[in-house]
Structure 1
Amino acid sequence: MPLFIQNREVDRIRSTAELYDRNPHLQEYARAFRSKKCVDVDPKCLLYVQQREFAATTPADNYVSVIGSEDATTCHMVVLRHTGTGAVCIAHCDGSSTSSEVPQFVKAVKSLSDACKEGRLELHLVGGFNDESKMSHNLSLNILAAFQNQEEDIHLETCCTTEMNDVLVDGIHKPIIYGIGVKVETGEVFPASFTFKGPAENLRSARTFTGGEMAEIYEPNKGIVKIGPCSWPPQPQLVHWLSQSDAKILKYLSTSPMAEPPHFVQHMKSTIQFVLDHPNPDSLFPGGQPQLYRKAETGDWKRVAPS
C-alpha cells in the first residue's frame, strides 16, 4: 500500500482526525494553504474541470497554463503530479466510484511522463467540510485508500480536507475553499475562483446530472477538450423543478444545502432546462462523434470539427 507521508509509508487510515494527529505538518500545511488569497483565474489560460471530470497535461502545453475546478462542497479536488516531467492531473470527485476513478488519474499522469525521468508522484487533496452526514469524511478516506491500493508510490503533500477545510458561519459548517487551480508550469496549487466554466458548460453538467461516469475531457497533445458522446432518456418530469423554490431545490438536489455557493440553484435550473431542451441528446453528437473544442488565439474555446 504505497502511500507515503514525509517518505514514510502510511498504514491504513481510519479517520481524518487520526491522519492529522499523526502528521501535524499536514495541519500546518492545510492552515497555510487555506489562508492563501483566492485567485480569480483568467479564462484565456484556463482549462476548467467540472464535477466527475478529470484532465491531465504537461508544461509543454501551448494552450493551457492553469487547470482548475470549483463548486466543491462535500466533493474533493484531487491533484496528482509527477515532479520530474511536470505532468499533472486534476479531478473533481464526488464519491460516485472512487476506487475505479483513482487508477485513471494515475494512468493519465504516467502516460504523459517519461518512464526514465527521475521524479515522484505527489498528491494534493482539497475539499469537503464537517457536514452532518459525514460524506466529506468518508470521501477523504476512500480517496486515500484508493491511492494506497495503487502499485505506484504516491507521496501525499497537501491534505486540506474535511475538518481542516471547515469554518462555522452563523453556526453553520461550510467549506473554506470551494475551488483550486494548478499552475501547469510549476505545479503550484492555490485557492481559486472561476468566472468561466466552459466550454459546453451546460452539456457537461447535464452529463453528470443524468448519471455520467468520471470522464477524461482533454487531449493535451492536441489541445482539445472532448465532450461525449453521452446520452440520457427523455425526462419531462424534470420540468417540475423549474417552478420550485430555491429552498426546495437545495433540500433535494444538494448533498449540503446550507453550504452551497450562491449560484447553485441557478446552475441546477440551467442544467435541468438543458436536459429538457435536448430529450434526444444524440442530436448533439452528429455521426456519434464527440464535441471538440480548441482554444483560439483570443483564448476562447472554439468548437472544431472531428478530424
Structure 2
Amino acid sequence: MIFIDGHPFSTHSSSPSQPQGNDILLALLENPNLISASSSFKANPERKFIASDEPGSERSKWVYIFQKEYATVDPALVDFVGTDEATTCVGLVIRNQKNGMTSVAHLDSPKIVEMGLSQMLSSLVANSLETELDVHLIGGFEDVSLQHENGSAISESPAYLDGYSFPLCSKIVDTLRSRDEKFHIRTFCVLGHNTRRDSDGNTYPFFNGFVVETASGIVFPAIFDGTSRCPDELVRRIRVSASYEDANWNGKLLETYDCGSDCFKIAPCRWTLRQFHIALSLLNYSDSEILSMCSTSPTAEAPDFVDNLRRQWSYLIEHPHWTETFPKKQPRIFARSSDERWIRS
C-alpha cells in the first residue's frame, strides 16, 4: 500500500488497456506534496564522498551500492548508505521508521523489481506488515525524445514516453501498491522531476546519485569518487553484467553487505567464456562506439564510463574463469580496518 502525507494513495485507471502502474506513476508525479519534496531534495547541496585524508573528505562510515545491488544497514554501525552512476536506473530507499534500519537498492530493470523488493524487506524488519516504512525514489529521467520521427511534437506527459526510465518507475510503484506493507513515499525525484535540458533540448538526469543519513533518514544528492566506491569495485562492476547469464541471479538483486557484522560479503557470480570473447571484441571499438553499444543513455554517462568498461573487459580477459575470483565458490569478504578502510579477510 502506498501512503502520501499519512493518507492512503489510490487512483482509478483511465484506460483498461494501460498498465495500472502507469496511472499510479502519472498521479504521483503530479502530487503537490511529492512535487514539493522533490524541490526540497534538489535544493540540498550535493554531498561528495572521498576515501582519503584530504581536507573536506567525508570521515564517516558509509556503504556504497553499485548497479543491481542492494544493502540493508544498521544506523548503529553505518552513518550513510548510497549509490551513484545512475542515468536510466532508479535508486530505492526503504527505511524502518521505528528503528532506522535502512535498505537501499540500485534498480536497473523492471524484471528485478518484485524479487528485489522482497529481498530488501526480508532483511529490513522481522514483520514488515506491522511496520511503517519510509520510501524514497530517486533517479531515472526523460530519456527519450519528445518528438515524433517526422518532427511533430507529442504530449509532454510521461504517459507517452517509452525509453528505459518510465517502465522501470511504473513497475516500482505498481509493486509498492500491490503489496500489503505500508509504504510512505517521502521523495519522488524521478523522470521529469529529475530531468534537465541543454540549449539543444537534450535531456540529462538532474542528479546521478544520493545518500541516506541513517540516523535521521534524510536523503541528500551525492557523488562518490573512485576511491569511495569500494570495496572490490572492479569485481562488483563485472557481476552486474555477468549476473544476467548466471541463473542463480535471475530476477534478483546482487548481495553485497552483511548488516549484522558490518562486512561486505560479495556473493559469487559465474561468468562464461562467451563474456571473455565479448570482452576481446569490445576492446577494439572506439569510445563513441562503446557508448553507443553499451549504454542506455550514451549522452548522459559520466566521463569515466568507457574507462570503467575497459577495465572490466581487461579483467575478464586476464581471469576468464570465474572460480579464479571466487575460489571454492565462496564470497569475497571485506572488513573495516581501524581507519575505516576495507580490508579483505
In the superposition, the TM-score normalised over structure 2's length comes to: 0.82
Rounded to whole Å, the distance in 2 between the matches of 1:225 and 1:168 is: 38
Residues 145-193 of structure 1: CA distance to partner in whole angstroms, max 9, x if unpaired? 1111222111111100011000002321000010001112221110001
Q: Deviations over 1:29-76 (max 9, x none)?
A: 112211211110243522110000000111221xx3111100000000
What is the match of residue 190 of structure 1?
220
Question: Separation in 2 of the partners of 1:199 and 1:144?
Answer: 31
Quick one: which of 208, 211, 223 aligns to 1:178? 208
Cα distance in 1, alignment partners of residues 128 and 5 from structure 2: 24
- For the residue of structure 2 that corresponds to 1:79, the secondary structure is strand
Paired with 2:76 and 2:35, the residues of 1 have a C-alpha distance of 33
Structure 1 residues 301 and 247: CA distance shift in structure 2, 3 A: same
Higher mean alpha-carbon deviation, 192-201 vs 159-168, is at: 192-201
Partner of 2:114: 99
Counterpart pick for 2:234 among 184, 191, 202: 202
Moved more, 38-47 or 133-142: 38-47
SS at match of 2:93: strand
Verify the 8 A CA contact 1:74 1:129 in the aligned structure 2.
yes
In structure 2, the residue matched to 1:153 is 182
The answer on whether the counterparts of 2:21 and 2:171 sit within 8 Å (CA) in structure 1 is no
Could you tell me how far apart the structure 2 residues matched to 1:210 and 1:114 are?
32
Task: Indicate the residue corresponding to 1:241 in structure 2.
Answer: 282
Per the alignment, residue 143 of structure 1 pairs with: 172
Instruction: Return the alpha-carbon distance in structure 1 between the equivalents of residues 328 and 113 of structure 2.
Output: 32
**Residues 102-161 of structure 1, C-alpha deviation per residue, up to 9 Å, x if partnerless?**
1111222114x8998xx6101000001101143111111111111112221111111000
What do you get for the CA RMSD once the two structures are aligned?
1.8
User: Could you give the per-residue CA deviations for residues 234-290 of structure 1, whole angstroms, max 9, x where no partner exists?
Assistant: 222321211211111111100011111111111111112222221101022222211
- Is residue 127–residue 165 contact of structure 1 (8 Å, CA) maintained in 2? yes
The range that moved more, 183-192 or 212-221, is 212-221
Instruction: Return the alpha-carbon distance in structure 2 between the equivalents of residues 97 and 221 of structure 1.
Output: 25
Matching residue within 44, 53, 59 for 2:75: 59
CA distance in structure 1 between the partners assigned to 2:45 and 2:173 by the alignment: 27
Matching of residues 39-58 of structure 1 within 5 Å: 39-43=47-51, 45-58=61-74
Unaligned 5+ segments in structure 1 are: none
Contact 2:129/2:180 (<8 A) preserved: no
Contact 2:141 2:165 in 1 (8 A): yes
Q: Distance in 2 between matches of 1:114 and 1:99?
A: 16
Secondary structure of the residue that 1:110 maps to in structure 2? Answer: coil
Q: Which amino acid aligns with 2:223?
A: S
Distance 1:177 1:268 in 2: 22
2:264 to 199, 218, 225: 225
**Number of the residue aligned with 1:127:** 139
For residue 315 of structure 2, what is the aligned residue in structure 1?
274
Equivalent residue letter for 2:211: G
Counterparts of 2:313 and 2:198, CA distance in 1: 30
Matched residue pairs, number? 297
Aligned-residue offset at 1:24: 1.1
- Cα 1:104–1:237 shift into 2, 3 Å: closer
Moved more, 75-84 or 92-101: 92-101
* Higher mean C-alpha deviation, range 145-154 or range 86-95: 145-154
Q: What is the alpha-carbon distance in structure 2 between the residues aligned to residue 86 and residue 237 of structure 1?
A: 43
Could you say what secondary structure the match of 1:92 adopts? strand
Q: Which is further off, 161-170 or 277-286?
A: 277-286
- Determine which structure has more spread, i.e. the larger CA radius of gyration: 2
Contact between 1:85 and 1:114, CA under 8 Å: does it hold in 2? Answer: no
Equivalent residue for 2:91?
A: 77
- AA matched with 2:232: A
Amino acid at match of 1:59: P
Q: Is the 8 A contact 1:58 1:185 kept in 2?
A: no
Classify the secondary structure of the residue corresponding to 1:298: coil
For the residue of structure 2 that corresponds to 1:47, the secondary structure is: strand
Secondary structure of 2:123 counterpart? helix
The separation in 2 between residues aligned to 1:28 and 1:115, in whole angstroms, is 28
Q: Choose 141-150 or 10-19, whichever is displaced more.
A: 10-19
Which position in structure 2 is the counterpart of 1:3?
Answer: 2
Distance 2:168 2:21 in 1: 12
The code of the aligned residue for 1:215 comes to: L
1:260 to 296, 301, 304: 301
Match status 1:26 vs 2:42: no
Aligned residues: percent identity?
28
After TM superposition, the structure 1 stretch with the greater mean CA deviation from structure 2, 295-304 or 10-19, is 10-19
